[in-house]
Amino acid sequence: MKRYAVVLLTALAPVSWGTTYAVTTEFLPDDRPLFTGLMRALPAGLLLLALARALPRGAWWWKAAVLGALNIGAFFPLLFLSAYRLPGGMAAVVGSVGPLFVAGLSAVLLGERPTVRTLLTGVAAALGVSLVVLKAAGALDLVGVLAALAATASMSTGTVLTKRWGRPEGAGPLALTAWQLTAGGLLIAPVALAVEGAPPALDGPAVGGYLYLAVANTAVAYWLWFRGIGRLTATQATLLGPLSPLTAAVVGWVALGQALGPVQLGGMAVAFGATVLGQLRPRTPGVRRRAGHGEDHAPNRPAPSREAAAAHENG
C-alpha cells in the first residue's frame, strides 16, 4: 500500500476519536466516565479477539498486558478524569504535546533522533490546538493537570513501545489490537465497579451511542491506529493526533451549534498544517528506512527494534 494511503487510513482513527465528546454528551449517561471507558474497550476487544482467533504466546502475554494498560486501561480513565476537572479544553491542550513526548521517547527507545522539523511541528500542533479549544474559564485544577499529563505520557509510551516491540510472527494488527483492548478493558472493569457502582439503566440512544463507540470509535479506529504505527514512524503517527480535537471542534460547530471565530479557524489552520508537515518523509537515511519498512514488508513481520536485532507496539 502506498504511503499516502497508509497515512490517510491511520488518520481516520483520531478523526473518529474527535466525535467521542459529542456522542458522550448527547447520548450517554452523565458522570459515568469509567463505565464509558469500559464499554468502549472490553466489547471491542472481545469482538476483535473473536475475529482474530489468536491469543498471545510466550512473552506476548505480559507485553500485551503492558500495552493494553498504557494505551487503554490507564489512558481512558486518566483522560476522562482530566476532561472532567479541567476547564475549556485544557485536557486537549495538554494532550496535544504528545508528539513531543513521543519524539523524546523515540530517541531513547528507538534510536530515532528528533529533527528540528519534528520539534517545530510538534510545537506548532500544540499551539494550533490551544487556539482552537482553549477557553478563558476558571483556575487550573492540579489533579486535572497531572491526570492530563499522565494520560499523554501513558499513550505516548504505549505508542513508542508498540513500534519497538512490533508484533509476534503470525499475528496481524487485528490480533494486537484485540489483545490490548481486552487487557485494557479488564483493567478498567474493577475500577469502574468500585468507583461508579453498578451499570446505569440504558435507553435506546445510549445503547446506540455505546455501540458506535465500541465498534467504529474503538474497534475499527484502534485497529487502523496500531496498523498505522507499524508502517509509520512513532512521531509521524502521533502527529496525526491533533486531528482529534480539530474534528471535535468541527462536529461541535456543525452539530451542536458551537461558534468558531477567527482565532479558532486560525488555530485549525496551524494545527492541520503541522499535521501535514509532520507526515513528510524524514531526511536521515536511518529514519527513512524505519519509516518505509512497513510499506515494503509483509504486514505480519515485526517492526525493526533493538529487541529483534539482539535475538511493536495503540493502541
Buried b (16+ CB within 10 A) or exposed e, 88-99: ebbbbbbbbbbb
Backbone phi, then psi, for 267, in 5-degree steps? -65, -40
In the chain, the amino acid numbered 105 is L
Whether 158 contacts 234, CB under 8 Å = no
Q: What's the rounded Cα separation, in Å, for the pair 179 and 167?
A: 11
User: Could you tell me the CA-to-CA distances from 57 to 104, 163, 196 in Å, in that order?
Assistant: 30, 19, 34
DSSP run (H or E) holding 118:
helix 116-133
Yes or no: say if 169 and 302 are a contact pair by the CB < 8 Å rule. Answer: yes
Please provide the distance, in angstroms rounded to a whole number, between the alpha carbons at the two ends of the chain.
21
Q: Average pLDDT per run of 10 along the chain, which is 315 residues long?
A: 85 90 85 89 95 93 96 88 70 79 88 84 84 65 84 91 90 94 96 93 94 94 92 86 84 77 84 82 48 38 36 35
CA distances from 70 to 41, 59, 116 (A): 13, 17, 28
- Cα(245)–Cα(34) distance, integer angstroms: 21
Three cell numbers, residue 265: 479557524
DSSP string for residues in 41-69: HHHHHHHHHHHH-----TTHHHHHHHHHI
Q: Are 122 and 103 in contact (CB under 8 A)?
A: yes
Domain ranges of the chain: 3-297
Between CA 238 and CA 97 the distance in angstroms is 10
- 284 SS3 class: coil
| pLDDT at res. 303 | 39
Taking phi first (over 0 means left), then psi (-120 to 50 degrees means alpha), and beta for anything else, what does residue 134 get? beta
Q: pLDDT value at position 315? A: 41
Q: Residue 140: its pLDDT value, please?
A: 67
Give the CB-side neighbour count of residue 27, counting CA atoms within 13 A: 17
Angle at CA of residue 195, ends 91 and 43, nearest 5°? 75
Query: How many residues are given for the chain?
Result: 315
Compute the distance between CA of residue 241 and CA of residue 312 in angstroms, rounded to an integer.
19
